[in-house]
Amino acid sequence: MAPAHEFRSRVLIAAAVLLTLGVTGSMWRLDAREDAPPQREFTLNARRYAFNPAHLEVTQDDIVKITLHAEDIAHSFTIDSYRIAKRAGAGQTVTFEFRADQVGRFPFYCNLTNDERCREMRGELVVRPR
């Protein structure tokens, strides 16, 4: 009978360890999500000759996800300070992300030359301090 009792004790100890690890693992994952920077998503429509919306506002260290849709002709989304230049063909969509790690006001524009008025397409990204 002693071996059966020892076996049950070992099973109970193993179950307790697994439960403890499971709870701890879940808590760790929850903590990791809480520490992750917030993600801000924007859908930006580009159409002769404007961005809509033309003003984007985020907080420093946010992950910024932009879906750029070129409604009519090809357009780009360019922010020099962040070294971003993304192009969407006519009627196409491109999605990209970046971390807003610099505080300030950053103009964005279309850098394509297929139509001279594309250069008039302007907007602004505002990154507020944490």
pLDDT in tens, 53-107: 999 999 999 999 999 999 999 999 999 999 999 999 999 999 999 999 999 999 9
pLDDT of residue 37: 85
Q: Where are the domains of the chain?
A: 1-36, 39-128
Classify each residue of 4-26 as buried b or exposed e, where b means 16 or more C-beta atoms within 10 Å of its C-beta: eeeeeeeeeeeeeeeeeeeeeee
- Count of beta carbons in the 10 Å neighbourhood of residue 66: 21
Asked if 63 contacts 37 with a C-beta cutoff of 8 angstroms, the reply is: yes
Percentage, residues of the chain above pLDDT 70: 74
Q: Which residues lie closer than 8 Å to 130 by C-beta, 6 or more apart?
A: 59, 60, 61
- Report the topology of domain 39-128: Immunoglobulin-like (2.60.40)
Position 32 pLDDT exceeds 80: no
Top mean-pLDDT range of 27-41, 80-94, 105-119:
80-94
63 vs 23, 42, 99, 108, CA distance in Å?
A: 29, 11, 4, 17
Per-residue pLDDT, 48 = 86
